[in-house]
Each structure stands twice: as C-alpha cells, then as structure tokens.
Amino acid sequence: MTTALFWFRKDLRLKDNLAWTKACESHRIHPVFILEPELISNSGPYRRQQFFSNVSALAAEIKSIGGELSIIQGPARDVLARYIRENNIDCIYFNADTTPFSRQRDEQLAKDISVPINTFWSGLVHPPETVLTQKGEISKVFTPFYKKWVTLPAPPSVEDSQPIFVDAQQNTWNETQDLIPSTSNQGYKAAINRLEKFLKVVDDYHESRNFPSKEGTSFLSSDLHFGTIGPREILHRLSSNREGHRQFIRQLAWRDWYSHLLFANQDIPTKAANPSYDNISWRDNPEEFENWTKGQTGYPIIDAGMRQLSATGWMHNRVRMITASFLVKHLLVDWRKGERYFRKMLIDGDVAQNCGNWQWVAGTGFDAAPYFRVFNPMLQSKKFDPTGIYIQRWVPELESLSNAEIHAPWEHDQATLQKYNLMLGETYPFPIVNHADARERAIATYKEARG
DNA sequence: CGAGAATTAAC
DNA sequence: TTAATTCTC
C-alpha cells in the first residue's frame, strides 16, 4: 500500500470531505497541516484563535482514531518538498480553493513537486465552472445562477472513511505545536452543535434572519470558512419545500456564486467588477475611517455593529450591510479598505465572500446594489431593531433612550437628552455626517465616476 | 394629520 | 439583500 500525504487546508474535518475519502480509499495516510505565515498575517485575533482551536480539535479527532496530525510551519512551497522526501510520501491529496493566494501556490507546487497531486472540491455545494449559462459561462447575475444552481442535483455527502495511518509519525517541527492551544471545543463537533441548534429555528429563518437582536441566523459562517463542516452536509439536513429552509439554501447559493465568481475573476479582491466604478474619487479620510472602526460615528446602528465586531469578531449580516454601506457611501472610503478591515476582524473573514459582499454594497460588483442606493441608517435601524435592544447591547450610552428615540439621538431636544444624561459631543458623538447631505454627495461622486 | 400601502426611480 | 415620495383612508 502506498502512502498519501493528506494536506488539510480549509477543510478541517473528516466527514463529508471528498479528498479525504478518496485518499483513504487506497492509501496509508499521513495527515498534515501547514501553518503558513500568509494565512496568519491577514488574520486578526478572533479568526486566529478560531483557526487554532479548529486545528487543535482536528488533531484530537485524528488522535482518537489512531493517527497523528503533523503540524508543519512555513510556506507550503518551502516545506512540502522536503517533508515528502523525508517521509517517503508517494502522492498528495487535498481539496482545492478559489482564492488567488491558494491557486497560485497550488500551481507552483504542481511544478515543484515530483509526486502525483490529487485535488477535489469539497468546500462548496457545486464546484466552480459547473453552474453555467447556455453559453457555458458563469452568470454575472445572481438570479439566473440560482435558478440553474437549484436544478442541479446536490452531490451526495461522501461516506465516512476508515483511514489507515502511517506508523510512528514524528513531528519534525515540534515548536509549532505550542502555537496551537491544546484545549478547545471547536472543530467538527462544535460545528455540528451549531447546526443542530440552527435546525431548531431554521423554519423561521426567512423572518428572523434580518433582526440582529435575534439568534435567527445559522452562526455557521466560520465553520464554512474553515471547513469544520461541509456545505453539502448542511444542505442534506434541509428541506427545499419549507420557506425558512429554502431561504437558507439560497444563502448557500450566494456563497457558491461568490466563490465561483472569484475563481473566474481572480482580481475581484482588488478591482471593481464593473470597471465604470473603478475611478471613484474616494475621500478616504483617515479620521472618519477610524471613527467608523471604533463605533464612534454618532449613528447608533452603525456604532452598535462596529462595536460588536471589535468586541466579538462577528457581526450580524444585516448590520454588515448597513455599516459597509455607510463607510462606502456616507464616508466615501474605498470599499477595499473596509473589506480589509472586516476580513481581518471577522472570525469568518473569507476572501471570496467578503470581497463579493463588499463589492455588492459598494455597487461595484456583479449584480450589485445600484449606485444610487444608499442605505438609510435610521430607516434600517427602525425596521430591523425596532425596540433598540441590539443598539442598547452594544452602545450602552444610549440604553435609557426609548424605542422611538434611540435610532437618531441628535433629533431630540436638549431637555430630553439631559434626562438621559446624554451629552452629544461628550458622552456620545454628534453624527459624523448629515445623512441627506452625505447621500447626495455619494450619488454625485458615483455619477461623476460613471462619466 | 399620520400610518401604511403603492409607486417611482437614477437601476 | 432599497429609498424617497406620493397616494390613500
């Protein structure tokens, strides 16, 4: 029997993992994780911790079935060739990814390494280049993509494997083990717990998903990012004839779409998908950007979201759209700066998803929001946090304001504010910009870029 | 007058 | 994955 190196990347699980199953079918397995500096350097503390917890949980799971995960540190191109030589590896298995970093690295690797490399797709419902229009291209509009996507049969979850591990693996880079926390409750088991919890409320998903004070969303975004659970396993627990389920399945399609688009357009992270918006005269005021990151814009819903992000590494999706729109449109900060900040801070920060969604909000992307659509922070706030619970949770300065008052504190007279010990400009900022003016300015700026 | 529905709009 | 405005009662 030959020996396969199984390289875990963004698929930190043993279930519903196609490359893993294929490798286990006919090889002795040498499981490896490579801690690459590039992966760490763009991560903020929350994602890094989740990352380590997931790797640690995977190592424990492998140990429990008689194997040992080798954790190697360094760029893959530097360490893999040597590792393959030293450990008598016959072939490599891993799951492919769509990001420019991953694809460039994997292409280079194929040139550098002499043993056969077997790759599979296991992190999306459908692999890139498999959901196509009649012309054989990926649709640049979501709805036709989705219509095609739902008609394709969902690939079955793969069977569990009975791996045979190589004996007496030695970890030649022991110091790396110390970087990985030894205790953790993440990994596949935690992902399954989150899925089971979500399945209890998914029938209401279409109604509750938009309210940041409710736990109406799946909380599976970081699991999907790290691959502690596969999207097909999630899909197979859902039913296409229930509205809440259907709406969540639709979100999985958005996820596939943004990954497929990135696969086909590798410059999405840096360039506007719609070139007419690549010449916007951004203001890029650094102080305003900093006020935004710190949750000090004077708009309660914006500040609540940004504070939730910096305090927890996560933000509710509805609020992600509102805060992102505010940065790009109201403050006219280049969407790439916001994207970078979100990706660094978010526990689920993901190149394909984050760039796709930021370009959508900025109006620069495929099938994006129209350029003149400027989210109104007060309307969004009143609509999706009507009682102000979410705002109060994250902006305690405002906790005594009433439901009606909390969305726009500057609109109330001095006496009302004094009653709550609220001194605008001291205990809570005045609005950083005036909504109506900023809206006009954004539309004019975009119009100018359109020519 | 005011809330909510309907419409329009620069897509 | 909308906002602003007008219409209606």
Angle formed by the axes of helices A335-345 and A351-362, nearest 10°? 140
Classify each residue of A172-183 as buried b or exposed e, where b means 16 or more C-beta atoms within 10 Å of its C-beta.
Answer: eeeebeeebeee
In strand C, which positions have an atom below 7 A from any protein CB? 1-4
Asked whether strand C has any atom less than 7 Å from the CB of A435, the reply is: yes
* Number of domains, chain A: 3
CA of A382 to C1' of B4 (A): 15
In strand B, which positions have an atom below 7 A from any protein CB? 10-11
Lowest average pLDDT, out of A50-54, A55-59, A220-224, A402-406, goes to: A402-406
| Domain assignment present for A167 | no
Q: Can you say how many angstroms the Cα of residue A179 is from the centroid of all Cα atoms in its chain?
A: 23
DSSP A178: G
Question: Which of A218, A239, A264 is the endpoint of a domain?
Answer: A264
| Domain assignment present for A173 | no
Q: Which residue has the higher pLDDT, A353 or A185?
A: A353
What pLDDT does residue A184 have? 59
d(CA A356, CA A350): 10
What pLDDT does residue A158 have? 86
Residue A223 confidence (pLDDT) above 60: yes
Asked whether strand B has any atom less than 7 Å from the CB of A403, the reply is: no
Q: What is the mean pLDDT of residues A260-285?
A: 95
Mean residue pLDDT across chain A: 93
Residue type, A347: I
pLDDT digits (tens, 9 = 90+) for A34-47: 999 988 888 999 99
Tell the burial category of A396 from Cβ atoms under 10 Å away from its Cβ (0-12, 13-18, 19+).
Answer: exposed
pLDDT digits (tens, 9 = 90+) for A307-324: 999 999 999 999 999 999
Question: Which of A211, A229, A264 is the endpoint of a domain?
Answer: A264
Q: Which domain holds residue A24?
A: 1-122
CA distance to A30, A95, A172, A174, per residue, from A165 (Å): 6, 19, 17, 20
| Domain assignment present for A256 | yes
CA of A427 to C1' of B2 (A): 34
User: What percentage of chain A reaches a pLDDT higher than 70?
Assistant: 96
Please give the nucleotide, over all strands, whose C1' is closest to the CA of residue A258. Answer: C1
d(CA A120, CA A17): 9
Is there a single domain that holds both residue A332 and residue A425? yes
| Domain assignment present for A174 | no
End-to-end CA, chain A? 65
Asked whether strand B has any atom less than 7 Å from the CB of A276, the reply is: no
Q: What angle do CA A438, A445, A436 make, to 5 degrees?
A: 20
Question: Which of A72, A99, A122 is the endpoint of a domain?
Answer: A122
- Cβ neighbours of residue A25 under 8 Å, at least 6 residues apart? A161
CA of A405 to C1' of B1 (A): 21
DSSP string, A23-48: HHHHEEEEEEEEE-HHHHHT--HHHH
What pLDDT does residue A175 have? 47
> What band does A404 get if pLDDT is binned at 50, 70 and 90?
confident
Please give the nucleotide, over all strands, whose C1' is closest to the CA of residue A444. Answer: B10
DSSP-H helix ranges across A313-411: 317-325, 335-345, 351-362, 377-384, 389-394
| Domain assignment present for A5 | yes
| Domain assignment present for A162 | no
pLDDT digits (tens, 9 = 90+) for A99-115: 999 999 999 999 999 99
